[in-house]
Structure 1
Amino acid sequence: MLRLPRTAGAAAAAIALGVLASAPASGSEPQLSEARVVAHFDFAAGRTPENIALERDGSVDLTFAFARQVVNVNKDGDTRVLATLPAVSNPKTPRVGKAVVLGIARAHDGTLYVTYATGTSSTGVWRIAPGGGAPRQIAKLPSNGLPNGLALDEYRGVLYAADSSLGTVWRIPRAGGRATAWAKGTALAPGAARSGGTGGTGVNGIKVHGHTVWVSNSDRGTLLSIPVGPGDRAGAIQTRATGLDGIDDFTFTGRGHTILAALATTSRIALVHPDGSHSVVLTGQNGLSNPTAVAVRNRNVYIPGAAYFTKRNPNLLLARMDRRVGL
């Protein structure tokens, strides 16, 4: 999910690159291995891969934030455009200033849902038919918000959208309609801007796992869980891990609570254990370029990197997961 430097972009990029250069290698027992880039994208064309959904045939769907595209990438790295979100006159997206397509979620029938942030009435959740086609807006979200991560709960028939600017988790009927503010609070809100141009990005990544909604807060470096309580109301927000600087989106490795998290600003992937401890398992030395999300299929780990800070080599990286991790 989106996390960008502010106007001092050159300085922020320089700082990010400095961190990359000093990033430690993975531990003596790497839980991810065989990392390789399967597709390179064009940064100048706005093809910055922001979020990911897995297809049954082994391909993946990606959102290209600044190109406003949703694409499919097959096993050979070939890219096919599934949809392009409509252009917006005078976009006023918070923190970004441009129209951007961010989160993506896939239903079992192949329908795709994406968040589109524009600073206009086009801001909200859009639906794309299986196989691609013209996108259709199914829910509006506040124009002064930044709807970022998106998760689908097919059991309850709802979508959850993480608003990084307003510090809110929105709940939207899968069929479309009115969005409601499902969860809010300081834990979800952005933090104060810091030196180097970062700051201002609160709740970001989001996943539904069992009867709980999990989210990340980029500014606070935290991983949080929100139980779905009686009447589908949000329960008390619980902090599950801290110290995950620059966390973007994340995924679970299996049925348990072990997580792989993308640490975008430092180009790292962290393995987060159920007790909240974490270790770095991939770095920029493995080909990461500001990773924004993680997806797992069996032992394959897919990692899109948007290169927001490095400004070079946005890509899709594939790694293999040790059997002991997916617990």
Structure 2
Amino acid sequence: MPRRPRPAGAATAALALALVAAAPAGDEEPLVTEARIVTHLDPAAGQTPENIALEPDGSADLTFAYARTVTHVTPDGARTVRARLPEVAAPATPVMHNALVTGIARAHDGTLYVNYATGTSATGVWRVPPGGGAPVRIARLPPDGLPNGLALDESRGVLYATDSVRGTIWRVPRAGGTATAWATGPALAPLPAPALDCGANGVKVHRGAVWVSNTDRGTLLRIPVAPDGAAGPVETRATGLDGIDDFAFPGPGTSVVAALNTVGRVVLVRPDGTTTTLLTGRDGLSEPTSVAVRGRTVYVPSASYRARRDPNLLLARLRHLIGRG
């Protein structure tokens, strides 16, 4: 998630039956190789990539939190602004105090959905038409919250938006309408100061459940979706994930690739909760915020909110497909 900026001027193949994973690589064979930065970004221009959605051709749509934009990035690094969220006169977002574009989700028809956190009546979920254009708000969210992660469940026609300050997962009709508090509770809440005041953060819909990270608590959670759409009991699937931000499923199983923002790593989280480091600052990470996986290609945006040093988009290659583990 976003961090308080320093003052200005401060220093692709489909997953088929072959998804059954190969034997785990030894220490001399890293799970991820060929890391490369495809585009370097400018923090002074607000180019702090917070979240990512992939296009069918392997390009990516990034939210630039402080620039209030959705920017399209091709695999060779070319950038095009697809949408700009409207400026607000006096942003008062809790914790951050600025207007921020955070989570993003893409529908199969190319429609993009983004969270906009402002601390004003403009706060909510916004829709961007396929190919880009003027964004339209489809649901209001509380201005005293911090909408962060966003996931789309097309089969149910709903979006799930995490609120990192209120410790809530909001459920929003894809067509637009009233947001309802789908899940709340201590597992989703932030910790008191001196923690980051960032509870529920990244969110994904996977195998009949909503999965969510809690940054302050360093946890990965699973919430089953009942047949009537209600939230089931919260299950803790992994702990000790310091600074976890957003994450992605690299295959049909329950292994997760997660961005650990505050410690500058991307890790593989196995179903038993154990982890393996995949990428670090030596590969080019600079406070990674999110992850996307397509086949064996891993995409990692780094926002470098604190260091303000080389925010970027990094691509890397999984040595083998992650199967049902």
TM-score, length basis structure 1? 0.91
Structure 1 equivalent of residue 270 of structure 2: 273
Tell me the alpha carbon deviations over residues 138-197 of structure 1, each in whole angstroms, 9 at most, x when there is no partner: 000000000000000000000000000100000000000000000000000001223xxx
1:136 is matched with 136
Matching of residue 235 in structure 1 with residue 238 in structure 2: no
Q: CA deviation at 1:4?
A: 1.6
By how many angstroms is 1:266 displaced? 1.1
2:121 corresponding residue in structure 1: 121
8 Å CA contact 1:68, 1:84 repeated in 2: yes
User: Could you list the runs of 5+ residues in structure 2 that have no partner in the other structure?
Assistant: 12-25
Residues 1:83 and 2:110 aligned together: no
**Secondary structure at 1:116's aligned position in 2?**
strand
**1:165–1:200 CA contact under 8 A, matched in 2:** yes
CA distance in 2, matches of 1:33, 1:89: 45
Whether the aligned pair in 1 keeps the contact of 2:295 and 2:321 (CA below 8 Å) is no
Q: Which moved more, 1:146-155 or 1:227-236?
A: 227-236
Q: Return the match for 1:320 from 317, 320, 325.
A: 317
Alpha-carbon distance in 2 for matches of 1:117, 1:182? 19
User: Is 2:290 the counterpart of 1:293?
Assistant: yes
2:303 to 302, 306, 323: 306
CA contact (8 A) 1:3 1:201 kept: no
Post-superposition Cα deviations, 1:299-320, rounded to whole Å, max 9, x if no partner, equal 1000000001221100000000
- The residue type equivalent to 1:52 in the other structure is I
The residue type paired with residue 201 of structure 2 is N
Per the alignment, residue 257 of structure 1 pairs with: 254
Tell me which amino acid in the other structure corresponds to 1:127: R
Partner of 1:17: none
Correspondent of 1:216 among 207, 213, 217: 213
Kindly indicate whether the alpha-carbon contact (under 8 Å) linking 2:83 and 2:132 is maintained by their aligned counterparts in 1. yes
C-alpha separation in 2, matches of 1:222 and 1:103: 19
* Superposition map of 1:1-327 within 5 A: 2-5=1-4, 27-194=27-194, 198-327=195-324
| 1:214 maps to amino acid | W
Q: Percent identity?
A: 62
Equivalent pairs counted in the alignment come to 308
Matches of 1:307 and 1:103, distance apart in 2? 17
Does the 8 Å contact 2:2/2:65 carry over to 1? Answer: no
5+ long unaligned stretches in structure 1: 15-25
How far apart are residue 75 of structure 1 and its match? 1.6
In the TM superposition, what is the alpha-carbon distance from 1:5 to its structure 2 partner? 4.9
Equivalent-residue separation in structure 1 for 2:68 and 2:30 (angstroms)? 36
Secondary structure (helix, strand or coil) at the match of 1:44 reads: helix
TM-score normalised by L of structure 2: 0.92
Q: Which residue of 1 aligns with 2:18?
A: none
Q: CA deviation at 1:3?
A: 4.0
Cα distance in 1 between the residues matched to 2:4 and 2:139: 28
| Distance across 1 between alignment mates of 2:71 and 2:4 | 25
Alpha carbons of structure 1 residues 5 and 89: separation in structure 2 relative to 1, 3 Å: closer
Residue 30 of structure 1: CA displacement? 1.4
Runs of 4+ off more than 4 Å: none
Kept in 2, the 8 Å contact 1:31–1:325? The answer is: no
Amino acid at match of 1:235: G
Per the TM alignment, residue 324 of structure 1 is displaced from its structure 2 partner at its CA by 4.8
Aligned amino acid, residue 4 of structure 1:
R
Partner Cα distance (1:324, 1:106) in 2: 23
What's the CA shift string for 1:266-315, capped at 9, x where partnerless?
A: 11001100111112111111100010000001110000000012211000
Query: Residues of 2 paired with 1:92 and 1:186: CA distance?
Result: 25
